[in-house]
Amino acid sequence: MGENDLTTWIREKITAEVVIAFVLGVFLGLVVLGWWLWPVQWTNTDPADLKPSHKEAYLQMIADSYALTGNAEVASARLKALKGPGEEDTDLSAMLDTLVKARMEAGRGDEAMRLEGLASAVILPPPPTPKATPTGTTVTGGSQLLRIIGIVFFLGLLGAGVVLLLTQLQKREAVRRGRALPAERPFARAAEREREGIAPPLPESTLGHFETTYNLGDEGYDLSYSIESPTGEFLGECGVSALEDVGIGEPGRVPAFEVWLFDKEDVRTETKVLMSERAFGDEVLRDKLANKGTLIQVEQGRVVTVETANLRLDATITELEYENGSNSVFAKLTTRLEISQR
């Protein structure tokens, strides 16, 4: 699939409805279903995977068990099983110290004494000095806050990607190869037209015109032009593309061209295929190119019209030459494209 075919496919398939459905699907599947209605359920996990309140209850059970059995070795193994990835013994000390203070403040002195007994039996490094905020409160980890930040970041990244995709589809820079004249705006001055030998002013509905020339040997001939309103609003694109290696002549020889028109308000890209006299009479080749668009035999002076929901493209064949006087491979083809609103 060539670059133009891929671009056309993206224009036709990735519509606003598809993008909205994708965003809603991700939101409903990940946030609503995955994190709210049916979150992941953990079974047979290690103590280190418990949430903080459950870790405190487990720690109290270790202290209570040690107070009954006096087995410091078992108590030490159970205590170290509470360490999560990246945590050290100092984190266990801090957990014990925090829980002792909480039990004392709650008036549960017996539980606090059993915790202190566990801390005395299991030798751990002293807890680190907590960092205080300007108001004197201790700074603690906020896994819930990090989770919310992660969700917001993910949704923001997804939204930015969608906006970037739509922007690139609508304002893609025109790929210009070969010789082409720039677009002429309807509001150009009449004096400049007369001095440069340009045609008379176009009707008010005309959005501009382009002129392209293909010469034998122009490889990768694929021209596209952005269509804008007089106020600069993007309306669509049009272009001319060579169809090489389709069954006539040597590789690199062109027996047919595509003239296409894309309207941002239309779901399809309309295409007409301009064929040489011999190519148009070849039934095999006609069947091969039929799926690309309406087939038309090229004649000098002929006007080929391509229409979409809001745009009209009139392509006039102003120059036509075949290679070595034949009627199969183009040596030169000049096409004038006039764009107007319907």
333 to 57, 253, 258: CA distances (angstroms) = 84, 13, 12
Question: One digit per residue, pLDDT tens: the chain, 342 residues?
Answer: 445 556 655 666 666 777 787 888 877 777 777 777 777 777 777 888 888 888 889 889 998 998 899 898 888 888 888 887 878 888 888 888 888 899 899 888 888 898 888 888 887 777 766 554 444 444 444 556 777 887 787 778 777 777 776 665 655 444 333 333 444 443 334 444 444 444 444 455 688 888 999 998 888 888 889 999 888 888 899 999 998 766 555 666 888 999 999 998 887 889 999 999 888 888 888 888 888 889 999 999 999 999 998 899 999 999 999 988 778 888 899 999 999 987
- 0.75 surpassed by pTM: no
| Tokens read off for 13 | 């398939």
Nearest alpha carbon to residue 122 among 75, 62, 89: 75
DSSP 92-130: HHHHHHHHHHHHHHTT-HHHHHHHHHHHHHS--PPPPPP
Angle, helices 143-170 vs 16-26, to 10°: value is: 170
Distance CA 338, CA 305 (A): 10
Q: What is the pLDDT of residue 261?
A: 93
Q: What is the pLDDT of residue 297?
A: 92
Nearest alpha carbon to residue 186 among 200, 209, 202, 171: 202
What's 187's DSSP letter?
A: T
